[in-house]
């Protein structure tokens, strides 16, 4: 009579657990899983991380809240009466600090929903559309018809920069209309500019990034580790393999058999390297 299959599996597992390689493998799996869960919970909002979770990182809860705040204030600023006291106080407190210019990047600015509204006139120091030659204006119309947003976007960016430089401001900030800023962004920006001003002149800077974008700071071939990933894996594995073999030959530890070395070098090491 043959023994039950469950009994056979039980004795097979007990036999496997006697090997050091099996114990090392189980310990590695446990530690790897623990580290994986920690990284998944810790780095899910980091676009540069392999644990980035776009489904949750891009949720709109806070953005919708800020958008609701803005839409609630626009009717107040569009009222026929004078702006409320807090609006006047804001303009008085920040008028000397900011020069706000709004560019309606349409050849027909009346198509923009904010064109002609009182809130833009009350808050902006200067607003309007393109002040260019007829030839450039016709070219812009052709770009709009062809939906060549990349070329037109570059033109709009350069045009905005040139307009802002006429104010002789110390710093220029360009924001597109689809940006929803978080509360307290201005304090953090001024703090960052203050920190930059204290840096040594030997470390020049080009621009201050106000909003993090994973499209500009993601994995690319310019990253040393990403570009040489295969070589790094092979070198680390060979170094660990050589070290373990030398230790086995020098001391003759019975627990450091060849199967255990194989598990460490070809399963544990690549697994933990992958987490980094």
* Tokens coding 82: 């004078």
Q: How far apart are the first and last CA of the chain?
A: 52
Q: What angle (nearest 5°) sits at the alpha carbon of residue 40, between those of residues 36 and 44?
A: 155
* Tokens coding 125: 């120091």
Query: What does the pLDDT average to over 200-216?
Result: 73
Q: Is the pLDDT of residue 89 over 60?
A: no
Mean per-residue pLDDT of the chain: 81
Q: What are phi and psi of 101, to 5 degrees?
A: -115, 130
Per-residue pLDDT band for 74 (boundaries 50, 70, 90) equals confident
Query: What does the pLDDT average to over 175-200?
Result: 85
Q: Is the pTM value of this prediction over 0.95?
A: no
pLDDT at 7: 61
Q: Is the pLDDT of residue 172 over 80?
A: yes
| Tens-place pLDDT, residues 114-162 | 888 888 888 888 888 999 999 999 999 999 999 998 999 999 999 999 9
| Burial state string for 23-59 with b = 16 or more CB within 10 A and e = fewer than 16 | ebbeebeeebeeeeeebeeeeeebbeeebeeeeeeee
- Candidates 193, 189, 162, 160; CA nearest to 176 is 160
DSSP output for the chain: -PPPHHHHHHHHHHHHTTSHHHHHHHHHHHHHHHHHHHHHHHSTT-TTSTT--HHHHT--HHHHHHHHHHHHHHHHHTSSSPPPHHHHHHHHHHTTT---EEE--SSSGGGSTTTT-HHHHHH-SEEES----HHHHHHHHHHHHTT-HHHHHHHHHHHHHHHHHTTT-S------TT--PPTTHHHHHHHHHHHHHTS-TTS------SS--TTTSS--TTSHHHHTHHHHHHHHHHHHHHHHHHHHHHH--TTS-HHHHHHIIIIIHHHHHHH-
Lowest mean pLDDT among 29-33, 92-96, 162-166, 228-232: 92-96
Per-residue pLDDT band for 1 (boundaries 50, 70, 90) equals very low
* Tokens coding 237: 């594995």
Q: Is the pLDDT of residue 191 over 50?
A: yes
pLDDT at 174: 87
- Candidates 28, 48, 25; CA nearest to 276 is 48
- Candidates 190, 220, 221, 223; CA nearest to 208 is 190
Query: What does the pLDDT average to over 99-105?
Result: 89
Per-residue pLDDT band for 96 (boundaries 50, 70, 90) equals low
Query: What does the pLDDT average to over 235-259?
Result: 83
Q: Is the pLDDT of residue 101 over 60?
A: yes
Q: Is the pLDDT of residue 273 over 70?
A: yes
Domain boundaries, the chain: 61-182, 223-276
Phi-psi region of 132 (alpha: psi -120 to 50; beta: other; left: phi over 0): beta
């Amino acid at each position: 009579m043959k023994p039950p299959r469950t009994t056979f599996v039980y004795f097979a597992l007990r036999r496997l657990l006697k090997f050091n390689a099996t114990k090392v493998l189980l310990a590695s799996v446990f530690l790897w899983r623990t580290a994986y869960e920690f990284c998944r919970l810790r780095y899910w909002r980091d676009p540069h991380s392999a644990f980035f979770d776009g489904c949750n990182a891009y949720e709109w809860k806070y953005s919708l809240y800020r958008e609701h705040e803005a839409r609630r204030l626009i009717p107040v600023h569009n009222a026929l009466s004078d702006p409320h006291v807090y609006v006047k106080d804001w303009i008085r407190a920040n008028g000397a600090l900011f020069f706000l210019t709004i560019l309606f990047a349409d050849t027909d600015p009346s198509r923009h929903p904010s064109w002609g509204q009182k809130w833009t006139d009350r808050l902006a120091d200067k607003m309007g559309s393109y002040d260019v030659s007829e030839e450039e204006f016709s070219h812009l119309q052709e770009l709009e018809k062809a939906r060549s947003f990349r070329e037109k976007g570059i033109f709009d960016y350069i045009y905005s920069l040139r307009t802002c430089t006429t104010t002789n401001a110390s710093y220029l900030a360009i924001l597109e209309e689809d940006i929803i800023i978080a509360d307290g962004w201005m304090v953090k920006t001024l703090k960052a500019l203050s920190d930059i001003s204290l840096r040594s002149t030997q470390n020049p800077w080009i621009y201050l990034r106000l909003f993090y974008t994973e499209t500009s700071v993601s994995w690319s071939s310019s990253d040393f580790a990403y570009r040489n990933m295969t070589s790094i894996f092979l070198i680390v594995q060979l170094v660990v393999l050589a070290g373990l073999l030398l230790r086995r030959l020098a001391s003759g530890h019975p627990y450091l058999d060849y199967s255990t070395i194989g598990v460490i070098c070809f399963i544990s090491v690549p697994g933990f390297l992958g987490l980094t």
